[in-house]
Chains A and B, each alone.
Chain A
Amino acid sequence: MEKEKYLQDLEEIKDIMNRSSRFISLSGLSGIFAGIFALGGAYAAYRTIYVNQDYLSYSRTLLDSDSLFKLLLIAVATIALSVITGIYFTTRETKRNNQKIWDYQTKRLLINFAIPLVSGGLLCLILLIRGYVGLVAPLTLVFYGLSLVNASKYTLNEIRSLGIAEIVLGLLAAYFIGFGLLFWSVGFGVLHIVYGILMHMRYSK
């Protein structure tokens, strides 16, 4: 029947608009793993920062160059692990959706994600080198959130609210300075796991 055909047309239009403008193969599993690695990284960082401290100076830190180097090492390892598992699970998902992993959409997504993220990352490195350690955890959260919001136009809708949640956490962490690592664990660890599970249930069935 005529109507049937037009209904199908509308479905097809929606499908093509989505597939051509958004990268839909983000894998929830990569979020879950990134969260677990972040919690591990945060614990390692905690051990590095708060080692040999008396209770009077709790949540105040002075970093020497040795532990700064250790912290950077932990950060790099955490990021590397998350990125590798992220690429693995996302590639698997693109195969299932019959999409290409490296096309116009992924490039656009990554570029828009990277612009706030790299600027924030460089700023945090400068702050670390200058010794403003306390601001690093809140700022990484804020900039990560901004990157997610910016990238969300080109991928699944959930990413936008995740980004906003990270920004709010980052601002709270900036106010309650000294609890940076705690907020950091919630933002990068717990939120990633929660959203990962949510997205896995929604899309990977």
Chain B
Amino acid sequence: MKELLKDLNKAFENRVRLGIMSALMVNDHLDFNTLKNLLGVTDGNLASHLRSLEKSEYITYTKVFLDRKPNTRYSATSKGREAFTKHIKAIEQLLK
């Protein structure tokens, strides 16, 4: 049991962070507002969770301009993808 638990990632214990990663796993990139609508959270809440995922280097962002408006696109890093896959596998093992 201990073995299994070590693969469970603290970073994904939170619902919002779990949601962000799930969405970024199946999309090349998503912008801030799309994520906000998808998860139904406030600006501040989403921003703080995005920042914490950035800190763990699980996601990265690029800023582009659309019609002169700044647009931040988030995407998952390979490190993030790996960590997320491990986390899911650990959950599946746990539920067996």
Contact = CB atoms under 8 A, between A and B. Distances in A.
Interface string B15-44: 100110011011100110010011100000
B94 A20 contact: no
A156 to B, nearest CB: 16
B83 interface: no
A153 to B, nearest CB: 11
A3 B95 contact: yes
A40 B56 CA distance: 60
Contacts of A21: 26-27
A13 B18 contact: yes
Contact of A12 (B15, B30, B92): B15
Interface string B59-96: 00000000000000000000000000000100110110
B30 A6 contact: no
Interface string A164-202: 000000000000000000000000000000000000000
A7 B95 contact: yes
Interface residues of B, number: 19
B88 A13 contact: yes
B64 to A, nearest CB: 14
Contacts of B91: 6, 9-10
A68 B88 CA distance: 59
Given A6-B91, A7-B95, A13-B88, A20 B38 contact: yes
Contacts of A2: 94
B19 A16 contact: yes
A47 interface: no
Contacts of B22: 12-13, 16-17, 20
A2 B93 CA distance: 13
B75 to A, nearest CB: 13
Interface of B: 15, 18-19, 22-23, 25-27, 30-31, 34, 37-39, 88, 91-92, 94-95
Interface of A: 2-3, 6-7, 9-10, 12-13, 16-17, 19-21, 100, 103-104
24 contacts: A3-B94, A6-B91, A6-B94, A6-B95, A9-B15, A9-B91, A10-B88, A10-B92, A10-B95, A12-B19, A16-B19, A16-B23, A16-B38, A16-B39, A17-B26, A19-B38, A20-B22, A20-B23, A20-B26, A20-B30, A20-B34, A20-B38, A21-B26, A21-B27
